[in-house]
Chain A
């Protein structure tokens, strides 16, 4: 007991004895203020996420007609390069015949499919359009852009793409075959809006 607390009107000692209504009010007020404080942090954190103008660039349409067999183009989608390659019959056949068990990453990495879908060539292309390979052109190791789009580019020993940063080598289906990258190149969400046009995103 503090010396001042001689009469009944004096302040009760803090933190001792039975909880009183006043203690409850103090706790409630502090708790309520803490919740408000925590909530008010949210705008300060959330402002760093992509803004509306960035999000608005989320889908892109691409005309495939000018891309001849064996050629490839790169388009920008959400600031990321997307590789679109018109594969030769030979390449499609070879990619389809690779046993999934031989692959370092056995997942299809196709946003349209379930997480566990196996990394077969069918699971990484659209049915009826197997010659078209559409992948995000960012190495899954540390985000470099693999070589292999230009005709004179080095494509690595599996004929797909080769990352100059740390030597990851992808096959024509964009699957990692050799090197440090942990995953296959990601297949972005896309659909054929006509026979020769796709919409990415």
Chain B
């Protein structure tokens, strides 16, 4: 928030000299030390920090893997095996990067679900939210390009299926696919350019993440009540309060991450990707990585190819319009007795689509995919605007502090607590 007074006082001559030339320490202090954080944040608010950590992990592990990886159709799969077998700690780096991609998406889905549940996209956080949607899109691109690099059967056929989606576009479709492939089919030429782009994208993501954090620090964090910070008692300084909570959550996340890296590294992958890519043989079931399954289910639920492609991209693009589709004047779903049920049904249908995306497109699976796809779109386009207008929200607490104390505390306790917080 812009209205707080930074308490940065450079103490030694160097920091004073620096402060009058590049006040970066002043900025860091203002943004990450005494930045006011709502006192009532729950653990769902720790995923921002976790995601930043994951981005750094992916960039660092990716960089070192690129020192051993060879982006050619003859050598790509062999070099991955070289990394797994012969490079010192190569197996560890490969697991960190491959499992890391899944963990990154796991965290981002929870981060997004939290944003939707507590109305974090609503004014004045529209730009913050849209930057998040852009990061999500870039992540999906990076995940897809990176999965291709393994050059196993599932990599190769996943690339074939997804790049072929562009051929559905009228007139320019086949030209675009040929341009993407650099040939008449997916080949080593395609792999090489995917490697270049996969290397570039994380840095683009990093840039947009900085904008995302900047926007966050202009408008301040949302919180479970959805109320704005009104008085100083509503917030605590970021250090040590929010930082320590983030650190504990990060350690818990790291425990889960490490479990996958060391004990079930291939659980989230596909056995077919341990077979080298073969352009003349298609695996019986082509399934994307788990984090794409809900969108893959939407794609397949539409009988027309172009329609399926448009619906799939539409389902993600729709997220960017959330701030204007939600007509309620209350942010947090906690105070929305009717919308709450629709929202949980929405979360359920995304999980259901994920399940259906991993099943063959036949029989009742197709029917259910259509049902849940329909609900996905109806939720955003009909339920969200209509329920927002019709619903009477529950009574909001008068302030964040009021919500924290519930009925139990009383003003004296509140003051004492505030005093304690300010003393630090």
- A residues lining the B interface (CB < 8 Å): 45, 48-51, 54, 74, 78-81, 138, 141-145, 163-167, 180, 182
Asked whether, in the complex, the Cβ of A48 is within 8 Å of the Cβ of B184, the reply is no
Asked whether, in the complex, the Cβ of A48 is within 8 Å of the Cβ of B180, the reply is yes
Q: A145 with B282: in contact, given A79-B184, A80-B185, A182-B305 (CB under 8 Å)? A: yes
Nearest first, the 4 A-B pairs at minimum CB distance are A78-B184, A143-B164, A144-B282, A79-B185
Specify which chain B residues have a CB less than 8 angstroms from the CB of A145 in the assembled complex. Answer: 280-282
B178 within 8 A of A: yes
Besides A138-B185, A141-B305, A166-B300, 15 new A-B residue pairs in contact (Cβ under 8 A), listed by A number: A48-B179, A49-B178, A49-B179, A49-B182, A79-B279, A81-B279, A142-B165, A143-B164, A165-B285, A165-B286, A166-B360, A166-B361, A167-B361, A167-B362, A180-B361
Q: A142 with B161: in contact, given A79-B187, A80-B184 (CB under 8 Å)? A: yes
Contact of A79 among B180, B183, B284, B285 (CB under 8 A): B183
Asked whether, in the complex, the Cβ of A164 is within 8 Å of the Cβ of B284, the reply is yes
Contact of B183 among A50, A74, A163, A167 (CB under 8 A): A50
B303 within 8 A of A: yes
Min distance, Cβ A54 to any Cβ of chain B, angstroms: 5
Specify which chain A residues have a CB less than 8 angstroms from the CB of B286 in the assembled complex. Answer: 142, 144, 165
Q: Please count how many residues in chain B sit with their CB below 8 Å of the partner chain's CB atoms.
A: 31
Q: Give the interface centre of B160, B184, B189, B362 by most chain A CB atoms within 10 Å.
A: B184
Specify which chain B residues have a CB less than 8 angstroms from the CB of A48 in the assembled complex. Answer: 179-180, 182, 193
Specify which chain B residues have a CB less than 8 angstroms from the CB of A138 in the assembled complex. Answer: 185
Specify which chain B residues have a CB less than 8 angstroms from the CB of A51 in the assembled complex. Answer: 182, 189
Specify which chain A residues have a CB less than 8 angstroms from the CB of B161 in the assembled complex. Answer: 142-144, 165
Min distance, Cβ A158 to any Cβ of chain B, angstroms: 17
Total residue contacts A-B, CB cutoff 8 A = 74
State in angstroms the CA–CA spacing of A80 and B360 once bound together: 26
Residue of chain A at shortest CB distance from B193: A48
Specify which chain B residues have a CB less than 8 angstroms from the CB of A143 in the assembled complex. Answer: 160-161, 164
Specify which chain B residues have a CB less than 8 angstroms from the CB of A78 in the assembled complex. Answer: 183-185
Within B354-394, the residues touching A (CB, 8 Å) are 360-362
Specify which chain B residues have a CB less than 8 angstroms from the CB of A79 in the assembled complex. Answer: 183-185, 187, 279
Specify which chain A residues have a CB less than 8 angstroms from the CB of B185 in the assembled complex. Answer: 78-80, 138
Q: Give the interface centre of B160, B178, B187 by most chain A CB atoms within 10 Å.
A: B160
State in angstroms the CA–CA spacing of A80 and B174 once bound together: 15
Pairs A–B under 8 Å by Cβ, sample size 13:
A45-B179, A48-B180, A48-B193, A49-B179, A78-B184, A79-B183, A79-B187, A143-B164, A145-B281, A145-B282, A165-B285, A166-B360, A166-B361
Within B279-315, the residues touching A (CB, 8 Å) are 279-286, 300, 303-305
State in angstroms the CA–CA spacing of A81 and B279 once bound together: 9
State in angstroms the CA–CA spacing of A191 and B77 once bound together: 38
Specify which chain B residues have a CB less than 8 angstroms from the CB of A144 in the assembled complex. Answer: 157, 160-161, 282, 286
Min distance, Cβ A57 to any Cβ of chain B, angstroms: 9
Residue of chain A at shortest CB distance from B181: A50
- B residues lining the A interface (CB < 8 Å): 157, 160-161, 164-165, 178-185, 187, 189, 193, 279-286, 300, 303-305, 360-362
Min distance, Cβ B170 to any Cβ of chain A, angstroms: 12
State in angstroms the CA–CA spacing of A74 and B281 once bound together: 12
Min distance, Cβ B167 to any Cβ of chain A, angstroms: 8
Contact of A54 among B164, B189, B283, B305 (CB under 8 A): B189
Min distance, Cβ B413 to any Cβ of chain A, angstroms: 62
State in angstroms the CA–CA spacing of A160 and B189 once bound together: 32
State in angstroms the CA–CA spacing of A73 and B179 once bound together: 29
Specify which chain A residues have a CB less than 8 angstroms from the CB of B178 in the assembled complex. Answer: 49-50
Specify which chain A residues have a CB less than 8 angstroms from the CB of B284 in the assembled complex. Answer: 164-165
Residue of chain A at shortest CB distance from B187: A79
Q: Give the interface centre of A54, A78, A143, A167 by most chain B CB atoms within 10 Å.
A: A143
Specify which chain A residues have a CB less than 8 angstroms from the CB of B282 in the assembled complex. Answer: 144-145, 163-165
Specify which chain B residues have a CB less than 8 angstroms from the CB of A74 in the assembled complex. Answer: 280
Specify which chain B residues have a CB less than 8 angstroms from the CB of A141 in the assembled complex. Answer: 305
State in angstroms the CA–CA spacing of A143 and B174 once bound together: 12
Asked whether, in the complex, the Cβ of B183 is within 8 Å of the Cβ of A54, the reply is yes
State in angstroms the CA–CA spacing of A182 and B170 once bound together: 13
State in angstroms the CA–CA spacing of A198 and B125 once bound together: 64
Q: Give the interface centre of A51, A74, A145, A163 by most chain B CB atoms within 10 Å.
A: A145
Min distance, Cβ A118 to any Cβ of chain B, angstroms: 22
Min distance, Cβ B180 to any Cβ of chain A, angstroms: 7
Asked whether, in the complex, the Cβ of B160 is within 8 Å of the Cβ of A142, the reply is yes
State in angstroms the CA–CA spacing of A163 and B178 once bound together: 22
Specify which chain B residues have a CB less than 8 angstroms from the CB of A49 in the assembled complex. Answer: 178-179, 182
State in angstroms the CA–CA spacing of A66 and B164 once bound together: 34
State in angstroms the CA–CA spacing of A180 and B361 once bound together: 10
State in angstroms the CA–CA spacing of A51 and B179 once bound together: 10
State in angstroms the CA–CA spacing of A138 and B174 once bound together: 14
Specify which chain B residues have a CB less than 8 angstroms from the CB of A80 in the assembled complex. Answer: 184-185
State in angstroms the CA–CA spacing of A71 and B156 once bound together: 29
Min distance, Cβ B227 to any Cβ of chain A, angstroms: 46
State in angstroms the CA–CA spacing of A81 and B185 once bound together: 10
Specify which chain A residues have a CB less than 8 angstroms from the CB of B305 in the assembled complex. Answer: 141, 180, 182
State in angstroms the CA–CA spacing of A155 and B182 once bound together: 32
Residue of chain A at shortest CB distance from B303: A180
Specify which chain A residues have a CB less than 8 angstroms from the CB of B280 in the assembled complex. Answer: 74, 81, 145
Specify which chain A residues have a CB less than 8 angstroms from the CB of B362 in the assembled complex. Answer: 167
